[in-house]
Amino acid sequence: MGVKLRRKMRKKFQYRANSKKKLNEIKRMFNPVIECMPVRKAWNNKKSTPSNMADMGLVFDLDRDVPVQKKNEHTAVKSPKNKRKEKPTEVVQKLEEDVKKRSGKPVEVRLTNAQVEYATTMLDKYGFDYKAMARDPRNYFQDTWKQIRVKIRLFTSNPRYFVPYARERGMLKPENLETQDKEEKIDC
């Protein structure tokens, strides 16, 4: 009796469901959009994701391939079973080259005008006394003194924002100004 009921239940059509949308979701699940070009070129749509990753020399399931080391002193750490040293594939070599290229470039943090204004007013008023900044009425977001310290350090570490501030306040030495002007002329 239960089997007949199940068969009847299956025959119902869902009019609300968008079948095209469901089909596209299934396609995306099996054929993911890969933004990394070396991986995209080596990807084989006829294979599963774990086998594709293994063919490329990459790890699909990190938990299975790299065991977690226990912090207990009495237990010995077991090394992974498959300890074979394989030559890196083309995909791995290209990924490593990309990482080397990117590692040389510093990541530039951009600050909004409001953040720059906040940092300049706080520095003008309190110097580097972060605890006083935390008690200031302009601290609208009620940041703690450590959060304010992070914001001020971001501002002072970025020459794009801090150099004009320091020039206006006369904090830069005249010797440094001449060398910076020369560097700016060379860049243009």
Do 117 and 182 lie in one domain? The reply is yes
Domain that holds residue 137: 113-187
Share of the chain above pLDDT 70, in %: 79
What angle do the packed helices 113-126 and 145-157 form, to 10 degrees?
110
Residue 101 lies in a domain: no
Chain centre distance of CA 147? 20
pLDDT tops 50 at residue 101: yes
pLDDT tops 80 at residue 151: yes
* Lowest mean pLDDT segment, chosen from 111-120, 139-148, 163-172: 163-172
State the pLDDT at residue 187.
Answer: 47
What total of structural domains would you count in the chain?
2
State the pLDDT at residue 114.
Answer: 95
- pLDDT one-digit tens code per residue, 49-62: 889 989 999 988 88
Residue 90 lies in a domain: no
* Model pTM above 0.75: no
Residue 41 lies in a domain: yes
Q: What's the CA gap between 83 and 105, in Å, rounded?
A: 34
Residue 138 lies in a domain: yes
Instruction: Indicate the pLDDT class of residue 20, thresholds 50, 70 and 90.
Output: very high
Decide which of 66, 92, 127 is a domain's last residue: 66
Residue 71 lies in a domain: no
pLDDT tops 60 at residue 96: yes
Do 124 and 181 lie in one domain? The reply is yes
* Lowest mean pLDDT segment, chosen from 68-77, 123-132, 143-152: 68-77
Average pLDDT, the chain: 83
Q: What's the CA gap between 58 and 185, in Å, rounded?
A: 46
State the pLDDT at residue 182.
Answer: 54
3-state DSSP call for residue 77? Answer: coil
Do 56 and 120 lie in one domain? The reply is no
Q: Is 77 exposed, middle or buried (0-12, 13-18, 19+ CB in 10 A)?
A: exposed
Residue 43 lies in a domain: yes
Residue 118 lies in a domain: yes
- pLDDT one-digit tens code per residue, 65-91: 887 777 776 665 555 555 556 788 899
DSSP line for 10-35: HT---SSS-HHHHHHHHHHHHS----
Longest distance between any two alpha carbons in the chain, whole Å: 94
Q: Name the residue with tokens 């005008």.
A: 113
Decide which of 66, 90, 124 is a domain's last residue: 66
Do 56 and 117 lie in one domain? The reply is no
Residue 36 lies in a domain: yes
Chain centre distance of CA 141? 25
